[in-house]
Chains A and B, each alone.
Chain A
Amino acid sequence: MILKGQKRKLDLEDGEASDRSSPTWESQRQFVFSVSLNKYQRGQELPEPSLRRSVLIANTLRQIALEKHGESPPPPDSALMSGEPATPPTNRGQSEDEDWGSAESDFSLSAAISSILTALDSTIDGGPQAAPRTPLRSVENLESAGDAAKPGYVNDVSMEDLFQEVDASLLGRVGYPAEEELICYLPPFSSASSNFREAFELEHLMEILVES
């Protein structure tokens, strides 16, 4: 098969286990997650994104995000409201801070996917849609949780605020981004432009991240 890094892929596929707590499963999930994200972004960069492809990839991303919570929905708002970190039932073995970051990033991920699909619709249908900013609902929930640790999550998130969140150690790192890094991929909610390319400055973000 015409593939890059073939050996690694074969290792993953040979070890494809049904045991979900195995490290192979985890690394494969991680792999599929990052590949899916790359695919989604590259698909959107094409002049004519295929809706079927985008939907299938988005569903795969959602499925992986859900699996991180042991196939239960993301933690209810009450947990977030009280400011306690979410504790997913699956065996994660990570620090509380990282758990919190993941729960948040899954919300962010859902919101990101949703806003991507909405923006895609506005590209295809032409013209501004009635409620382009409904993803804000998820973000508002996070905001009301009194999240002091991440001051950037307010309605008027600006590019500068986003970059303050970027951990310097993530810059220029080669490899698959962890879920926490996805927070960077949120489109700037402050922009109400209906033009998909203006609103979604992911490419610009990626460039800056990589160039640093």
Chain B
Amino acid sequence: MAGVAGGNDFQWCFSQVKGAIDEDVAEADIISTVEFNYSGDLLATGDKGGRVVIFQHEQESKNRPHLRGEYNVYSTFQSHEPEFDYLKSLEIEEKINKIRWLPQQNAAHFLLSTNDKTIKLWKISERDKRAEGYNLKDEDGRLRDPFRITSLRVPVLMPMDLMVEASPRRIFANAHTYHINSISVNSDHETYLSADDLRINLWHLEITDRSFNIVDIKPANMEELTEVITAAECHPHQCNVFVYSSSKGTIRLCDMRAAALCDRHSKFFEEPEDPSSRSFFSEIISSISDVKFSHSGRYMMTRDYLSVKVWDLNMENRPVETYQVHEYLRSKLCSLYENDCIFDKFECCWNGSDSAIMSGSYNNFFRMFDRNTRRDITLEASRESSKPRATLKPRKVSTGGKRKKDEISVDSLDFNKKILHTAWHPKDNVIAVAATNNLYIFQDKIN
């Protein structure tokens, strides 16, 4: 898709769906984060129960070369357990807030997973050989009687069924008073940042007993608190640059070379408010729920409640592009405030070439925007449209009085079916969409 000018519309088809089918969704199974690794071969999901499931892309089969391979379960492990903070009498949720992969440096894979308080570095490695012929123990592991050992032999490595093991290599704990909302691996591949509501810390991957606090927006007097940090990310190429977004709809870009404490930003991005659309909920809907740099590092994208905005890092006073995700909800903000939906945090993502962006909505709808053609499409992640290789039908929400056939009215939308987490393969047109407890994988027909 990269470099193709216009014309080539995506044709998304269903590929796979993972997860239970029953209507009764267990809370623990709700997917809370989705992330492809750098090559796209691995796809990780985290859920509310603290588990991580990693899917691996299988190679295309020889007899059906036109089909892309499928993603199958590679490893499952319990990353975080529920904890109890005795000092504050608070339970710490085991829900995985974010997973971020490290670039691969050897045969093993590494990822960072975090809940509200603790970040863990996991090593996922394969084992396909086993040593046989030990001297001191026999085949089932029982210790041999030393007096019976009369000769020595060298154990031999024998092939075995592939086993994928996940082991925690580092635990980065006790550095966050507030709830962690973001982690981001730095381009130096040695450090990473973690952000909570009021502070951002910089860690070295090897050092767990201390971290550097680089942003602290906690006021001396908590009465004066009116703004919290909502997301943070490291620049993809400049290891000294990172951004963080706030609940007031602002983004601050900081340069770690400027000062040890980056409370003073280098750049401040904010779009002036449109006075004609001001309401009681203006601030709440301006709260940014996700910020993502483009792969090129030249742009960044922010998601607020109703829209996605693309910013040029060289222009602070307004975004260069704004895409409406579900503008029809603007007249329903009062109800959405009452039922708490207005606080939902949607994520957004770029495709590999930065030519398209995607973000989720309600009713299991998700939206894609082509930045070049300015065309957009609404698709649905549902079991009904889940026939193998079936092309997804574009969906439409009717806003006016007259509802056309196949359109759905705003009042019929199911606000319990939210697509908060989506991910786009770093190279190919494959997307992963988390719909509550199910993970949908869609592919573009045109290879």
Contacts and interface: CB of A to CB of B under 8 A. Distances in A.
Interface of A: 1-3, 6, 9, 12-14, 16, 18, 28-29, 31-32, 35, 39, 47-48, 50-53, 55-56, 58-60, 63-64, 113-115, 117-118, 120-121, 123-126, 129, 131, 134-135
11 contacts: A13-B332, A14-B331, A52-B228, A55-B247, A56-B284, A60-B280, A63-B283, A114-B223, A115-B223, A118-B222, A120-B222
A1 B337 contact: no
A52 B230 CA distance: 8
Contacts of B283: 56, 59-60, 63
Given A52-B197, A53-B343, A120-B222, A60 B90 contact: no
B385 interface: no
Contacts of B225: 55, 117, 121
Given A13-B331, A52-B287, A117-B225, A29 B91 contact: no
Residue of B87, B91, B335 with highest tally of chain A CB at under 10 A: B335
B46 to A, nearest CB: 18
Contacts of A16: 279, 331, 334
A64 B280 contact: yes
B416 interface: yes
A118 B220 CA distance: 10
B88 A124 contact: yes
Contacts, number: 102
B396 interface: no
B247 A52 contact: yes
Interface of B: 87-88, 90-91, 93, 116, 177-179, 197-198, 221-223, 225-228, 230, 247, 276, 279-281, 283-284, 287, 331-335, 337-340, 343, 411, 413, 415-416
Nearest to A120: B222
Contacts of A50: 179, 343
A56 B337 CA distance: 11
Given A31-B334, A50-B179, A1 B343 contact: no
A12 to B, nearest CB: 6
Contacts of B177: 124-125
B222 A1 contact: no
A39 B334 CA distance: 13
Contact of A60 (B91, B197, B284): B284
A120 B178 CA distance: 11
Contact of A1 (B93, B230, B335): B335
A13 B332 CA distance: 7
Contacts of B339: 1-3
Contacts of B228: 51-52, 55
Quick one: which of A59, A113, A115 has the most chain B CB within 10 A?
Answer: A59
Given A52-B228, A56-B247, A32 B337 contact: yes
A50 B230 CA distance: 12
A139 to B, nearest CB: 14
Contacts of B411: 1
Contacts of A134: 221, 223
Nearest to B89: A47
